[in-house]
Amino acid sequence: IVIGFTGLIGLLLTWITPLAIAPTVALVGLSLFNVAAQKASLHWGISFMTMAFMILFSQYLRDVPVPLPIYKRSKGCTFTKLFIFKLFPVLMAILISWGFCAILTATGVFPADDPARTDLTTDLLKDSPWFRIPYPGQWGLPTVSIAGVFGMLAGVIASMIESVGDYYACARLS
């Protein structure tokens, strides 16, 4: 709160340039490589299909407008062009890949223990409560220690600096 109210982040922006932002964002992405490779190795075919859709949507179809129907009170039902591939390339690639996996699951192409099946976690969804009201102290009394405070402070400061770089990079791309 003190760093935000004092404007220290604004002062940091004068020294944070694209030369500092690009390696920061790249290091964040590279640090997630092990997790991404482990998850992709569960089914390489689906992983490559999803990556191909991401590349297709974000690099080749980003300037292709998709006509969508809209309703305006003054004009009635008309069409507008939306650059949906530029806005949602990752989300669309994931949804199309999931839909493909759902079709393959429903037709019985995937064996029962295949990690690409879309029905492996349906029991988790079925057994979970729809609504749960949290209440204070449900996990016991909160504890505060000096080590915990300094550990969280270090994490928060690192996250703030990294987020400034991410926000700046996203703003430049937008």
pLDDT confidence of residue 145? 92
Question: 70 φ, ψ to 5°?
Answer: -135, 160
Question: For residues 97 and 54, what is the distance between their CA atoms, to the nearest angstrom?
Answer: 10
Name the packing angle between helices 146-173 and 18-31 (round to 10°).
120
Q: Does the predicted model carry a pTM greater than 0.85?
A: no
CA 153/CA 155 separation, integer angstroms = 5
Position 41 scores a pLDDT of 93
The set of residues, in sequence order, having a beta carbon less than 8 Å from that of 133 and lying 6+ positions away, is none
* Per-residue pLDDT of the chain in tens (174 residues, 90 and over written 9): 777 788 887 777 777 776 777 777 777 778 888 998 999 999 999 999 999 999 999 999 999 999 999 998 888 899 999 999 988 999 999 999 999 999 999 999 999 889 999 988 888 878 888 888 888 888 888 889 999 999 998 888 877 777 776 776 677 666
